Structure 1
């Protein structure tokens, strides 16, 4: 049986980025009063400002379809820091507006560990006892080649700065934060900015127009783009230079 992707009421910040799957709260507006939650390092929780560790990296791992809950539970039992971004989705139940959560990127799990530790994770657990397929696999960086084998791509890793920015964005409880593709962006990604006010304060990204609204796009890796809700021009500042990717 495939995993239910709803978040348990006792979810920990090391697994998810927010609240129980059905809060019963109405959708928050995208106003200029910051409501960004503070994510701190406690009891295994994910911190927006991770303590640098040269031996560890953020690996992007693929998860067998529908098994993100099983995957994160397995990784956590091994004592590794991992992150599952959740999307806040507005629904109506019995005529009332509610917000539930579902995986923002249901095929990906982000694991902070050494290369050797990740290697052991990949081969330690299968999809099920009756199958030989691995539950986790590498997502490869198709923009570079391995030094020891130029014909192959290395596993994709995300630098701490970019991962912190991504965690900060996807930890904001706002159903208008959405994954996007380049096809729905109405014009080329524009200026690199930092948001200075509101829900998305301190988020770094590029300005773009989506569905007729000005938003800020965070690109974690090639093809993985997440958009904020509407951000007014006066709530952002152009950045002269910033490096969020390796």
Structure 2
């Protein structure tokens, strides 16, 4: 995802010239700023350093955290850890993300880049049909994802398609409780009905148990 070809899409990911605006902007930012939510890959074990680096530049970024319940000496407590330690979400312009990727301070002595593009293998660039553009997330989808992952609940977990016992079902919205307003699709995880938010291919996060009485099927818009 940082430069290799994608077998499923048969497209090569290239360092791009970004011009296509697939994403939206954060509700906290003016549309004229032309910012997008970019998904950047972070080298192993360095998500906190990457977040500090981006924020030191004055840019907005988001690291979803997992509130994990642990037991020690017969006592339970909640600890926090990155939910998706390989990804950093940054809300910047195309020019600003280029600066983050190519800044000399990103490269360390071991030659590992702190940040690199995560490419969208579902489409190709208009100016080069053999290359994928960087992955960006639409504003509405990002807001939904932030709303879910900001809830301090240890039962919110990242999942893969292997965890899902049944095929993803109806598009729904949660109408009550801590998860009110979360949009996603119904599935059964670990024997419980949950709502699954899929931010991009392979990035799925599950709510805690959601009973039938507080979910409403969303009508498809024409």
Show the counterpart of 2:75.
Answer: 96
Q: Does 1:186 align with 2:173?
A: no
Once the two structures are superposed, the pairs formed by residues 68-79 of structure 1 within 5 Å of their partners are 68-79=47-58
Segments of 5+ residues of structure 2 without an aligned counterpart are 1-25
Would you tell me which structure has more strand in proportion to its own residues? 2
Q: Does 1:214 align with 2:214?
A: no
State whether residues 64 and 127 of structure 1, in contact with CA within 8 Å, keep that contact through their aligned partners in structure 2: no
Shift of 1:49: 4.0
Once the two structures are superposed, the pairs formed by residues 94-173 of structure 1 within 5 Å of their partners are 94-124=73-103, 125-128=105-108, 130-173=109-152
Query: Cα 1:59–1:201, aligned 2, differ >3 Å: closer, same or farther?
Result: same
| Alignment RMSD | 1.5
TM-score by length of 2: 0.84
- Structure 1 consecutive aligned stretches of length 4 or more whose deviation exceeds 6 Å: none
Instruction: Choose the corresponding residue for 1:51, options 11, 25, 29.
Output: 29
Show the counterpart of 1:81.
Answer: 60
Tell me, in whole angstroms, the C-alpha distance in 2 between the residues paired with 1:83 and 1:203.
18
Number of residue pairs matched by the alignment? 195
State whether residues 64 and 135 of structure 1, in contact with CA within 8 Å, keep that contact through their aligned partners in structure 2: yes
Tell me, in whole angstroms, the C-alpha distance in 1 between the residues paired with 2:50 and 2:221.
33
Shift of 1:93: 2.5
Segments of 5+ residues of structure 1 without an aligned counterpart are 1-47
Instruction: Choose the corresponding residue for 2:45, options 66, 70, 82.
Output: 66
TM-score by length of 1: 0.76
Tell me, in whole angstroms, the C-alpha distance in 1 between the residues paired with 2:52 and 2:58.
10
Query: Cα 1:112–1:139, aligned 2, differ >3 Å: closer, same or farther?
Result: same
Q: Deviations over 1:125-183 (max 9, x none)?
A: 3342x233321000000000000001010000001000000000000000000011111
